[in-house]
Chain A
Amino acid sequence: AQSVTQLDSQVPVFEEAPVELRCNYSSSVSVYLFWYVQYPNQGLQLLLKYLSGSTLVKGINGFEAEFNKSQTSFHLRKPSVHISDTAEYFCAVTATQAGTALIFGKGTTLSVSS
């Protein structure tokens, strides 16, 4: 079985500051990793995903994440945030077997202020 821990429930930052949202996972098998974003009163949108290959993955809206197998982490970063990045962010893991459900972390609320 897999599990995900998002280490910060809330992250307040000022506009144009860098941000890192932390995610650790646990699994006894190979995994795929995802970050989803949920804007207020909306559904979930995929930000980026790690399937294999390069450990640094780039996603939409200037976000990137680095897969670290030895530390079982998949932290999300953005060098300069905007007010519009205010949202809830979910890290998720799934085994590589086709059709395996995603296991989600509890979410991190990113609040960007001016």
Chain B
Amino acid sequence: DAGITQSPRHKVTETGTPVTLRCHQTENHRYMYWYRQDPGHGLRLIHYSYGVKDTDKGEVSDGYSVSRSKTEDFLLTLESATSSQTSVYFCAISVTSGGNNNEQFFGPGTRLTVL
């Protein structure tokens, strides 16, 4: 599982509240990603990071921000949660050496419900 953990695993919150999801990896991988999974949409990229303090937007970045102050942690923040952000959120890392060539390993996911 490439040593990826996500916290919390489940969260219920109310519209308008800020929420931060944490992704932690133990193997010092450079590239990290946040995806959301919704029925009928597959997984869509929210933000990604290619190093400490280096991040960029993905396909569905509106309403989300990220931070990466150290290699092992990649935080996803919903500044003001909306019901449309109810989803399952997956963090991933990319292994770019040793024959894995951009293969991504995923964390266990965080199920977020915004009421």
| CB of A44 closer than 8 Å to a CB of B | yes
Q: Is the CB of B43 within 8 A of A90?
A: yes
Closest B residue, CB atoms, query A93? B102
Task: Indicate whether A43 sits within 8 Å of B109 (C-beta atoms), given known contacts A90-B43, A101-B33.
Answer: yes
A 12-65 contacts with B by CB, 8 A: 32, 34, 43-44, 46, 49, 51
Q: Is the CB of A99 within 8 A of B31?
A: yes
Bound CA–CA A96/B12 (angstroms)? 38
Bound CA–CA A46/B1 (angstroms)? 11
What interface size band does chain A fall in? 20 to 34
| CB of A75 closer than 8 Å to a CB of B | no
Q: Is the CB of B31 within 8 A of A46?
A: no
Binds B, one of A66-74, A77-85, A103-111: A103-111
- Which A residues fall within an 8 A CB radius of B? 6, 9, 32, 34, 43-44, 46, 49, 51, 90, 94, 96, 98-107
8 A–B pairs (Cβ distance < 8 Å), ordered by A: A9-B40, A32-B101, A43-B106, A90-B42, A90-B43, A98-B94, A99-B94, A102-B45
Query: Assuming A99-B30, A104-B35, what are 18 further A-B pairs, CB within 8 angstroms?
Result: A34-B104, A43-B90, A43-B109, A44-B43, A46-B103, A46-B105, A51-B99, A90-B42, A96-B101, A98-B31, A99-B94, A99-B102, A101-B45, A101-B94, A102-B92, A106-B40, A106-B41, A107-B42
